[in-house]
Amino acid sequence: MATSTDSFYLGFDFSTQQLKVVAVDGNLSVVHQDSVQFDSELPEFGTQGGVHIHADSLTVTSPVLMWVKALDLILGKMKNAGFDFSRVKALSGSGQQHGSVYWRKGTNQVLRDLHPGKSLHELLKGGFAVSDSPVWMDSSTTEQCQYLETAVGGAQRVADITGSRAYERFTGNQIAKIYKAQPEKYEDTERISLVSSFAASLFLGSYAAIDYSDGSGMNLMDIFSKQWADSCLEATAPHLEERLGALVHSSAVLGLLSPYHVTRYGFPEDCKVVAFTGDNPGSLAGMRLQEGDIAVRPFIFLSAQAQYIISYPIKGYKNGSLTRERIRNKCAGGSWEVFSSVLRTTPIGNDGNIGIYFDAMEITPSAVGVHRFDKDNTKVTGFSAQGEIRALVEGQFLAKRVHAEKLGYKIIPGTRVLATGGASSNKDILQVLSDVFDAPVYTIDVANSACLGCGYRALQGLVAESGVSFAETVRKAPEPQLAVTPTPGADKVQ
């Protein structure tokens, strides 16, 4: 496969707490990274962890204009850093899954006519029928889930069609809630995007199609035909298919970059936009799993041996990094150094003490609250600060291992755990992960595997039509590096 090492490929990730970008060259070496933290760099939107948790503790949203302004900011940062946009041949990206964006009628024309002298935030401030987008942490749609399952023929029938039973965070149920609670806003909606296709639209200068992978997390797509499922659409909202648009393959080239970006930032006129996808499949692309591998992002991904759910086997959790930050603040004075020191000095197995920490309503199981148990399996009200820290981290990783084993996954000689995300830079957290899974943990140099994977996908989009496989596309990419190995005797801890 011939590619120019002078060319750049961009991967963006519109995640829950930040917007990130990675640029790779033709050899797949990282040449630039940048990020925008929503809470600290866009404080005017008043988010915590990138979201607004509403009074009912179930409804969770993010301001859609915050994401738009973050894109203005990150592209401005790159320009100020001297990044050479003229070398970018293609870009792709990912978004937090399940979240939905509601474009107001007439906004597609606004996207086509963007004036390069103004920011996207200025140009699109009136472009959304719903200003606060439901996101994956939302669990307020139980009523809509029950209705969908009843209308379609039961939970198993929904799973047979869409790959999953009805979940509160899935986009179709969020759309149904908006249609019922705010029918005037639904009527004013011209297009409904996922966060991924919304982000692609900002680059494309028109509404971007939803890709198969991200579309399969909506309870709306038939995972076998790769088309919208009529029975699910009819149970959700009227005239929904026309608002969703067509689905496309994840490696599809959507079109050329908007002239807005060509003029404002100096991208080449022939720069291609490759379909955006969800952050989890984006991470899978970045981590390049082999059979037998387990990946933690802080989601658990299982390789070819697993069976489930979205077009790729994954298990998502709400109570990950934000819960670790809460316990760090409570028990380690806000210091990751102290947090890590506790993990190094407390015993593996925590003397039999274990905790389950669901600050927000968890996805699976559907539960909330903090539950602590001692070595006799007796529920207790609290641990020491040191015990709390280890109970949290061990509990999070034990939950991942239990889920993996329930799916039939077995830890065998040669199993590797691949870690990415913010926690992958903390060697002491990785040591707990290694001990729980009794397997070596590997990391990649770039903490954000979704960005990296989408940079790879941008290149893949250019060559896919010629029959070049993804494996061949990423052949030159750096291999994961060994970070930690299991502590001797960890497998004997009960």
pLDDT at residue 385 in the model: 95
- For the cut 80, the answer to whether the pLDDT of residue 318 exceeds it is no
pLDDT at residue 194 in the model: 99
pLDDT at residue 363 in the model: 61
Averaged over 98-127, what is the pLDDT? 98
Note the pLDDT tens digit of each residue in 276-306: 999 888 887 887 766 666 666 544 444 433 3
Q: Is 481 exposed, middle or buried (0-12, 13-18, 19+ CB in 10 A)?
A: exposed
Given a contact cutoff of 8 angstroms between Cβ atoms, the answer to whether 297 and 280 are in contact is yes
> Could you give all domains of the chain from N- to C-terminal order, each with its CATH number?
8-284 (3.30.420.40), 319-393 (3.30.420.40)
pLDDT at residue 407 in the model: 65
Given a contact cutoff of 8 angstroms between Cβ atoms, the answer to whether 161 and 229 are in contact is yes
Provide the whole-model pTM. Answer: 0.80
Determine which of 316-325, 429-438, 453-462 has the lowest per-residue pLDDT on average: 316-325
pLDDT at residue 422 in the model: 63
Note the pLDDT tens digit of each residue in 439-478: 898 887 666 888 999 999 999 999 887 788 888 888 888 7
Q: Where are the beta strands (DSSP E) in 66-143?
A: 88-95, 100-104, 132-134
Q: How far apart are CA 125 and CA 374, in angstroms?
A: 53
pLDDT at residue 493 in the model: 80
